[in-house]
Amino acid sequence: MSELNLKEVLDFCIDLARKAGAEINAGSEKRLKEGTAIDIKLNTADLVTETDQAVEKLVMEAIKAKYPSHKFIGEESYSAGEKAELTDEPTWIVDPIDGTTNFTRANFPFTCISIGFVYKTQPVIGVVYAPRLDHLYYGLSGQGSFLVSPQFKEPRRLPLTKPLPLPSLRQALMALEWGSLRDRATMEKKLGFFERLVGDGDDGVKGGQMLQGVRSLGSAALNFSQVGAGTLDAYHEIGVWSWDVCAGIVIAREAGAVVIGAKSELSKINEPEFFGSISPEVLQGRKYLVVRSIADTPEEKGRAAQIRTIKAIYGALDEWEP
C-alpha cells in the first residue's frame, strides 16, 4: 500500500467530502425554496433525488481526474446497471447521499456523503461528512478515526470518551432501522427481532433483552460513525449496501468497534483472525452488526464483552434475506 500514499488519499477524500457537502447543502436550500424532483426506486421508502446524481457525478469526476486507474462503486452507478464487483484493485465505494429520506425533508440534518476506499478487498479509508451538522468523521487503517465538528475544531480521536463497560443489553443504546423492505414475511421477522431486543423478558416477552433505548438516524454511515464515537453502543441492519457502510466500517473499527456480517459469522467469532479483517463477503453481504469499544473490567476483557454482546443481539435475531 505504500505506493498509494494513503495519507494523501485520505486528504483528497476529506477535501472531496467537503465539496460534496456544499453540493448537498445547496440542494437542501433549493428544496426549502422551491422543491426539486424526487424519484421512487423500490418503493416510497427508497428514494433518489437529482442531488444524489449531481453529487455522485462530482465525486466520480474528481476521482477519475486524480486516480484514473482506480475502480468506482457507487449507488447511482450501480442502479444504472454497472457491476459492483470487488477485486484487489484500489476501489472507491461511495454513497453520494446516505439518508436520502432525511434529505427530502430538507432540514432533517442526518444526511451525509459517505466515501470509502478499499485496497486488496480491505476497507482502509473512510470519510463520512454530514454537512447540515458540519460533522466530519474520518478513519485511516492503523491510524485511528477522528471527528471534526463545531464542538471539536481540532480532530478529536474516537471514541470521544474513554470506553465504558457494557454489562448487558439493559444498559445499551442501539440503532435499528426500518429499511425499505416492508413485505409481510420480512416485517414479521423484523418486528419479532425488535420485540425481543426491546421487550422485558421478566414481564412476559419471551427472550426479551430489555434494551435501554433505540434510535433510528436514517443513515447507516452515521449509525456506524456514532458507534465509533461511543454515542451508540451497537447498530444492526439488514438490507443496506456496501456504499452505505464501507466508510463507516473503517471509522468504527479504527475506534475499537467490532463489525460482523450475517448471523452465520458467529461460527468464526472465536477465531484469532475474526477481529483482524473484513472479508468481501461481509463487506458486500448486506447484513451488518457493529458493537462499540468496551472497557476491560476485573471480571471480563473488553473483547470478550463485545463477543457476549454480539451473541446476545444475534440470539434475538431470526434472520431475513435482503
CATH 3.30.540.10 range(s) for the chain read 2-157
CA torsion 249→255→260→266, rounded to 10°?
170
Tell me whether residue 75 is annotated as binding.
Answer: yes
Helix, strand, coil abundance in the chain, percent, nearest 5: 40, 20, 40
CA torsion 179→184→190→193, rounded to 10°?
170
Look at residues 83, 103, 53, 65 and name the one whose alpha carbon lies nearest to residue 221: 103
pLDDT at 295: 98
Helix (H, G, I), strand (E, B) or coil at 20: helix
Give the C-alpha separation, 169 to 52, whole Å. 36
**DSSP codes, 235-303:** EEEES--HHHHHHHHHHHHHTT-EEE-SGGGGGGTTSGGGGT---HHHHTSSEEEEE------SS--HH
Average pLDDT over residues 291-311: 97
Give the C-alpha separation, 275 to 253, whole Å. 9
Helix (H, G, I), strand (E, B) or coil at 140: strand
Q: Which residue's entry shows cell 479509508?
A: 125
pLDDT at 44: 42
Q: What is the DSSP letter of 163?
A: P
Residue 268 binned pLDDT confidence (cut-offs 50, 70, 90): confident
- Residue 147 CB coordination number (10 Å): 22
pLDDT at 38: 57
CB 137 within 8 A of CB 19: no
The domain made up of 169-315 is a member of CATH 3.40.190.80: yes
Helix (H, G, I), strand (E, B) or coil at 156: strand
**93-107, 194-208, 289-303: which range is least confident on average?**
93-107
CB 124 within 8 A of CB 13: no
Tell me whether residue 88 is annotated as binding.
Answer: no
pLDDT at 194: 98
CATH 3.40.190.80 range(s) for the chain read 169-315
Active site residues: 75, 95, 97-98, 100, 244
Give the C-alpha separation, 226 to 233, whole Å. 8
Average pLDDT over residues 138-142: 98
Q: What is the pLDDT of residues 51-70, one digit of tens each?
A: 888 898 999 999 999 999 99
CATH of 2-157, one of 3.40.30.10, 3.20.20.140, 3.30.540.10, 3.30.70.2740: 3.30.540.10
Is residue 45 pLDDT above 60, yes or no? no
CA torsion 103→107→112→113, rounded to 10°?
70
**DSSP codes, 32-77:** HHT---EEESSSTTSEEEHHHHHHHHHHHHHHHHH-TTSEEEEHHH
Look at residues 53, 322, 79, 286 and name the one whose alpha carbon lies nearest to residue 182: 322
Here the cell at position 159 is 471514541
pLDDT at 81: 56
Backbone angles phi, psi at 128, to 5 degrees: -125, 120
Peptide bond into 167 cis (omega under 30): no
Give the C-alpha separation, 87 to 122, whole Å. 10
Here the cell at position 53 is 446524481
Tell me whether residue 97 is annotated as binding.
Answer: yes
Strand 173-176 to 213-215 pairing: parallel
| pLDDT mean across residues, the chain | 91
pLDDT at 211: 98
